Amino acid sequence: MKYLFLILIAFSASWLANKRTLNVGFITVMEKIRYISLWNHYGKIQPTDTIWGD
Tell me the pLDDT tens digit for each residue of 2-34.
777 877 777 777 766 666 555 556 666 777 777
Whether the per-residue pLDDT at 54 is higher than 50: the answer is: no
Give the three-class secondary structure for 16.
helix
- Per residue in 5-25, is it b (16+ CB within 10 Å) or e — as a string? eeeeeeeeeeeeeeeeebebe
User: Which pTM was predicted?
Assistant: 0.30
The reported pLDDT for the residue numbered 13 is 72
Domain ranges, ordered by start, for the chain: 2-42
